[in-house]
Amino acid sequence: MRTYWLSFCDSDRPTGQQFLGAVVVDVTEADAQLALQLFPTMHDQQEGPWIAAAVRACWKARVNPGGEVASLRVDDAPEFARRSPHYPRLQLLSRADVDALDAR
Predicted local confidence at residue 101, as pLDDT? 85
Amino acid at 104: R
State pLDDT tens for residues 20-72.
Answer: 999 999 999 999 999 999 999 988 999 999 999 999 999 999 999 989 999 99
Q: Is 19 exposed, middle or buried (CB count within 10 Å of its CB: 0-12, 13-18, 19+)?
A: middle
Count of domains for the chain: 1
Q: Is 66 left (phi over 0), alpha (psi -120 to 50) or beta?
A: left
Q: What is the pTM of this model?
A: 0.88
Domain that holds residue 73: 2-103
State pLDDT tens for residues 64-104.
Answer: 998 999 999 998 887 776 666 778 999 999 999 988 888 77
